[in-house]
A and B are shown apart, each in its own frame.
Chain A
């Protein structure tokens, strides 16, 4: 279960984001490709002193075209302007490594130039072999291979809707018996972006036309096809048993991160916290849009403010940083993996703003529109599986942070009270995993004690 917490902490995670320009904005990791004498790389040039990355506007030449020295090959958009980029050598454009609309850091290879026509094939092989990642941007967005409980539940919930859509809509009158696809311009655009196959999809628009929300529904819910699969095999939606499935980019990244996390010596400290007061407060201010997640994040942030070492991070093994702001990352399962939207300065922002911010982040995460700073700037992570009835679990520490807290469900428990009676209290278990190079047992213990006192007397949460 805990492995699903790891994905977002990779700087190189390629998130299929829906950008304003509709072109999928992807990021490409610089790759090191063994350079042979006659196959040259075309680099992303620095077009201005402030430019750190460039977006490929369009390729003037296509693969296989002959290039003469000084000819423009590609149009690059920098932070200032669009510029034609020229080649310094004669040769053939062998392989394009960053497609139109893609973003690449300055200095990274965006294409390969072969000296002779014979070498084009070599170069192509190089481009696809050497840059394992380079395929990622164009490949389909990661599908639901990490079976987070949420996504399973979502899929089970999806069928009634989809099935209804199938039943309700007639065949489009002009679709010539299904031969032609009638979809609105935006639906087509979205389908291309979200890699949804329009054929076979049944529209809910006027006269059975496929409209944007049909495509979105498929992209979000796994689609009609998936729904049908669920009907047959509820336990494993859309999974072909016995097949070997290569990792998607996201899964590959998770795998690497998991292995990397083994280099950090971690330990765990647990605590049981009574939540009666917190539950009461939650009931009181729930109507104002406050969520339990925001309350927990706020309480955690206030406790972190008193124990800066728990909010620190050690990257090189020789020194560590007391992070200047308290950014609480909260794990959210989304379709096809998980992400940790970050509540920045959670100790300073009031609970109402924090709740609004959280709602906005979750919406963005679902729409895959989170910006990098909205998911990779966390200094402390919260993972809550309490809503599934999980009473305790432990988490793996995301590389680059100091600690992560696993939160279980708050349950009514029979407890002995101080005056010797037996009482009923709501209690939840939390379990913190921390980097022992910088955070010691007593640090965590004191942090948890502070956290418990805040949650058990939560008046400070709504200041």
Chain B
């Protein structure tokens, strides 16, 4: 259950922390993704397909809509070459890769930790 959605992969430890936080603090990540609307991301699905695109919108279940998409490995995954916009179910997302300079991981980590502690009280 812990392996739901991982937000970044700078270090293994951070990935696990953010993953657990995502499960225990979904509102935080909903807010986080809302603030990233308009930015370019790469969504890696649990079936290994990676989709690059602009984050158009997100909902409370972290379902994601991307526009101007391209498949990062089109030879391996030719399925979606003709698609421009897509809706990705939140539960099939493994990673959402973000440009490193778009996010302060320390701040996000602190906020996630605080939110998780708040939830326990």
The answer to whether A binds B is no
